[in-house]
């Protein structure tokens, strides 16, 4: 029996499996229920009591040795399979990564800017945190006048008191800055984010985006304003889109108007978007009030001008039939990816 143990010990020591199958054969041969170890234990029962004393120890040591060897080989074969699968196949195609898409508001903003550029307008920008002068007073909003309530303003408190600093409620403030810094002619549009203290709903938000426009020169008339806006609408929504002007009121323009276009969704037949009227309002406009020109150091007896302002969200809603303003700021990929365009 001792010689068998010696022989198996030598065999086991020398054993090195080429794969998992060989290791399994090894286990069955030595450690299986009908394996050689089992045979040795069976044989052990038959030896004399004297021999049992010495052989018992040797047999137990051999059993431990065989089991440990198997355990070790098993672990090795498991880790080596891992390294196998880690090996990279360099012929596989690369993993693609998804390109982002332009935000619909930015797409429409770009489109609006491009149309006005073709009509000879520059692009002007200004700060989002404004003072009372640029947002209100210079624009002919009298102090404490109810017209200021047309635009629910976020004021920034200074030492607990309502100061004259606010988040701009429109980009008309950029028009003031522009006129203060030079002399006509001015022909520019002012895209930018504006803020109003409104409860958030499908139809209102506490911030939105505008494009305003200003043209000041000698002999600028309301007819110029109408022609420019008409051309803009044909370019943006397609030939044949109708426009109409309704009298309105803004402190900074006189006369003032609101412009409607024939509903882009039902083409005037009547739908939910136009509340079955066939028309939708898209912007406010008018001739710059002489007081505004004077406030900015421009001679109102020599120059006249027109101004207009529109919300990009509204223009976008009409273009893509979006009915809830909140979608624009929720960053839901399912919404945004519908506007896939090449990145420019």
Binding residues for Mg(2+): 254
Q: Which of 140, 253, 264, 304 binds ligand PHE (CB under 6 A)?
A: 253
Among 136, 250, 303, 328, indicate the residue that binds ligand PHE (CB under 6 A).
250
| 70 vs 230 by CB, closer to ligand PHE | 230
Determine the 3-state secondary structure of 111 from DSSP: helix
Q: Tell me the three state secondary structure of residue 124.
A: coil
Which of 283, 285, 124 lies closest to 189, judged by CA? Answer: 124
User: Minimal distance in Å, beta carbon 198 to ligand PHE?
Assistant: 13
By beta-carbon proximity to ligand PHE, the closer residue of 153 and 172 is 172
Q: Apex CA 294: angle with CA 289 and CA 300, to 5°?
A: 70
Q: Assess contact for 132 and 173: CB atoms under 8 A.
A: no
- Among residues 219, 230, 220, 222, the alpha carbon closest in space to that of 283 is found at 230
Question: Structure tokens of 218?
Answer: 């000698």
How many residues at the interface with ligand PHE, by CB under 6 A? Answer: 11
User: Whole-angstrom Cα distance, residue 35 to residue 253?
Assistant: 103
User: Minimum distance between the CB of residue 250 and ligand PHE, rounded to whole angstroms?
Assistant: 5
By CB under 6 A, what part of segment 172-191 binds ligand PHE? 172
Considering the complex, state which of residue 104 and residue 309 has its C-beta at the smaller distance from ligand PHE: 309
- Which of these ranges, 2-10, 230-238, 290-298, 301-309, lies near ligand PHE under the rule CB under 6 A? 301-309
Q: Least CB distance from residue 309 to ligand PHE, whole Å?
A: 3
Residue 286 makes contact with ligand PHE by CB under 6 A: yes
Residue 326's CB is within 10 A of a number of other CB atoms, namely 13
191 Rama class: left (phi>0) / alpha (psi -120 to 50) / beta: beta
Residues at the site binding ligand PHE, with contacts judged by CB under 6 A: 170, 172, 212, 250, 253, 284-286, 307-309
């Amino acid at each position: 029996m001792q010689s068998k143990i010696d022989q198996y010990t030598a065999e086991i020591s020398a054993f090195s499996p080429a794969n998992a199958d060989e290791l399994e054969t090894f286990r069955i041969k030595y450690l299986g229920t009908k394996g050689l170890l089992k045979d040795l234990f069976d044989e052990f029962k038959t030896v004399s009591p004297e021999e049992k004393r010495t052989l018992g120890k040797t047999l137990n040591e051999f059993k431990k040795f065989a089991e440990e060897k198997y355990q070790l080989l098993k672990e090795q074969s498991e880790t080596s399979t891992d390294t196998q699968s880690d090996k990279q196949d360099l012929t596989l195609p690369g993993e693609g990564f998804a390109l982002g898409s332009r935000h619909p508001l930015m797409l429409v903003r770009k489109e609006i800017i491009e149309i006005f550029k073709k009509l000879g307008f520059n692009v002007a920008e200004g700060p989002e945190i404004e003072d009372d002068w640029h947002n209100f007073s210079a624009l002919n909003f009298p102090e404490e006048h109810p017209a200021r309530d047309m635009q629910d303003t976020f004021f920034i408190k200074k030492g607990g008191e309502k100061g004259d600093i606010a988040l701009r409620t429109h980009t008309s403030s950029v028009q003031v800055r522009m006129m203060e810094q030079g002399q006509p002619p001015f022909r520019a549009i002012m895209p930018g984010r504006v803020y109003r203290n409104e409860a958030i709903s499908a139809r209102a938000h506490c911030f939105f985006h505008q494009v305003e426009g200003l043209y000041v020169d000698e002999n600028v008339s309301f007819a110029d304003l109408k022609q420019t806006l008409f051309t803009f609408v044909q370019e943006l929504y397609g030939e044949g889109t109708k426009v109409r002007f309704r009298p309105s009121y803004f402190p900074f323009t006189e006369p003032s108007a609101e412009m409607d276009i024939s509903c882009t969704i039902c083409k005037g037949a009547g739908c939910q978007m136009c509340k079955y009227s066939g028309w939708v309002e898209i912007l406010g406009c008018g001739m710059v009030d002489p007081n505004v020109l004077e406030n900015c150091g421009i001679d109102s007896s020599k120059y006249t001008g027109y101004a207009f302002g529109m919300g990009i969200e509204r223009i976008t809603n009409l273009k893509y039939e979006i009915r809830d303003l909140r979608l624009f700021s929720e960053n839901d990929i399912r919404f945004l990816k519908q506007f896939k365009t090449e990145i420019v």
